[in-house]
Structure 1
Amino acid sequence: MELEKKCVECGRAWKATPHTGRPRRYCSRSCQARAYRRRRDRGRLSTSTSTASGTGPVGERLASVLELGVTIADTEGVAAVTLRTVAHRSGLPLASVERDFRSRDRLVAAMAQRLLARPARRGPGTGDTAVEDAGTALRRLAEEEWRVYRTHPWLVEVLASTRPPLVPAVLDTARDALAAFTRIGLDSHAALRRYLAYSAYVQGMALLLLAERRESEHSGTSFRHWWREEGHRLDRTGATVRHAWLAELTASPPAGGFNLDAAFRDGLDRTVRALTTEP
């Protein structure tokens, strides 16, 4: 007698003949191998990201490698972070770093997890006095992400992608933001669309942080100096006559330079209000 079974990996049905021994779970060896690779990779990534925040020799070694990786990215850019570089500068054998992280992408993902991890928050019914409304929750999440970008602008290069590293901290933030959008009556698909627009705003402003850092390092001039020189040039070419808004801005440049923090919060407030006004 044949029994119809479904592959636990791809879902394809096949006819199986009853037999003794361990039940067959996969329709083919390729599905079995694919499932094994996924379990293996997930296990290693979760071990790297969780153990790095723990104690003991292994946890301390991983934490020191991640701290070194973050320092290299802060000072030289994330492109400078490689397994060989962190192994050399930490004094560890390259084989040891490769065993811990397996690839550069997983090392950078673990660095992102370390920077974005938030303390566990108590949910409703566990002592909180009130549940945040959608706007408050979204502003809080954006501010938390912005603070990390402020210190580590390179991180936006890692996260501003259609395929970001799906480490626990990234998934937690997405979950909380989507929950905020569903609280105003959106279904999961509509909530995801608004989340993408919301995230694009936060990361788009963070790209300006990264550009500001790079331009200051490469040119050696401040924004205020650059704006003053550009104002003189635009005035000489007649651009300020053709564009009245330029004349006003160059005549009274912002004191201390353009304030990205103020611009971020002004735009964030308007973006959140627009995205949460109506379902």
Structure 2
Amino acid sequence: MAGEIDPPYLRIAAEIRRRIADGELAPGDRVPSTRQIAREWGVALATATRALATLSQEGVVRAQPRAGTVVAPRDAVPERARPRAAGADRELTRERVVRAAVEIADAEGLEALSMRGVAARLGVATMSPYRYVGGKDDLILLMADAVYAEASYPDDPPQGWRARLELGARTMWGLHRRHPWLAQISSLNRPLALPGLATHSEWVLAALDARGLEPEAAFNLHLLLYTHVHGLAVNLERRAQAEAASGLTDDQWVDSQQAAFDALAASGRYPTFAKILTSFAGGYDLDLDALFELGLTALLDGFAALPELS
């Protein structure tokens, strides 16, 4: 039978298409992620990515940053699937390859990214992207540089070092919010030499240098500010990874741990912890944006105590 010889990615696409047609998945509903597809059908991530890319090319689904891939509206005009044109590879550019990779990482996370998946998203031969990037590691650096370059700073800076640092920190937080995978690719002890990232460093360091701080002191404060953004941002992608791996939302996971937390509180060994925990009658709402602003204020208040900045 024809269905028995179809490639796995086509069989997966057909099943998701059936679920949509039968109403099991409605417009706006999230379809299985690449990781969930790989687990449910026992296929490689690249095969799962190709299945979603096929549905995306048909207009059946679309990528929605951080929501994953969702069912497209019923009135959307589908982009009909068609064989790859003979000249499609020649239309590729490095920018298109990088943009497609960013779209995959934004929607599904960095772990879902593969060179094969990028090729499938672009509708080109598997090896075609390699003519523009050396491999996945090179591609990730190009992606990072591209998204860091999305934001720019005004030619006329705001008055005062604090306003300038606030703008720099909020700009970086906004970038990580839009691209949560960004925080996964760098660390303080292995910095990235990227022009896009250097733009943000220049903005902060110029504000501190203008106040006469010693170079090492200025650089340390710059790193503290970056670490505040980065330290919170790593939780954005980890949240998505944990949900994909466990199938549980944050609230569901907390509910599953409630008995363990109750036991800790009831043990009598942690009275302050128990007091605070039991005060959250309606539950604790973890708001990373609020934590970012709270931490930024505290950090800059500390900076203000330095003689050069007071």
TM-score (norm 2): 0.61
Counterpart position of 1:241: 268
Q: CA deviation at 1:59?
A: 9.2
Q: Deviations over 1:92-136 (max 9, x none)?
A: 34554223223333321221122121455443xxxx4x6432111
Equivalent pair of 1:141/1:177 in contact (CA under 8 Å): yes
1:175–1:154 distance in 2 versus 1, CA, 3 Å: same
How far apart in 1 are the matches of 2:102 and 2:296? 27
1:92 pairs with one of 124, 128, 152: 124
Structure 2 portions without partners, runs of 5+ = 1-88
In the TM superposition, 1:1-279 aligns within 5 A as: 61-93=93-125, 96-118=128-150, 120-123=152-155, 128=156, 131-239=158-266, 241-253=268-280, 257-278=285-306, 279=308
Which portions of structure 1, spanning 4 or more consecutive aligned residues, are displaced by more than 6 angstroms?
Answer: 57-60
How far apart in 2 are the matches of 1:137 and 1:93? 46
Bigger Rg over Cα: 1
Counterpart position of 2:58: none
How far apart in 2 are the matches of 1:250 and 1:222? 20
Equivalent pair of 1:216/1:222 in contact (CA under 8 Å): yes
1:178–1:201 distance in 2 versus 1, CA, 3 Å: same
How far apart in 2 are the matches of 1:162 and 1:89? 34
SS of structure 2 residue aligned to 1:236 = helix
How far apart in 2 are the matches of 1:110 and 1:118? 13
- Aligned-partner residue type, residue 105 of structure 2: A
- Aligned-partner residue type, residue 260 of structure 1: L
Q: Matched residues, percent identical?
A: 27
How far apart in 1 are the matches of 2:227 and 2:269? 33
Counterpart position of 2:57: none
**Quick check: 58-67 or 263-272, which moved more?**
58-67
Equivalent pair of 1:153/1:206 in contact (CA under 8 Å): yes
1:237–1:162 distance in 2 versus 1, CA, 3 Å: closer
1:256–1:190 distance in 2 versus 1, CA, 3 Å: closer
SS of structure 2 residue aligned to 1:242 = coil
Q: Deviations over 1:185-224 (max 9, x none)?
A: 2122221122122211211111122222222333333333
How far apart in 1 are the matches of 2:256 and 2:276? 13
- Aligned-partner residue type, residue 200 of structure 1: T
How far apart in 1 are the matches of 2:250 and 2:277? 13
How far apart in 1 are the matches of 2:230 and 2:194? 17
Q: CA deviation at 1:240?
A: 5.8
TM-score (norm 1): 0.66
Counterpart position of 1:30: none
Equivalent pair of 1:158/1:164 in contact (CA under 8 Å): no
Equivalent pair of 2:109/2:237 in contact (CA under 8 Å): no
- Aligned-partner residue type, residue 184 of structure 1: R
- Aligned-partner residue type, residue 239 of structure 2: E
Structure 1 portions without partners, runs of 5+ = 1-56
Q: CA deviation at 1:161?
A: 4.5
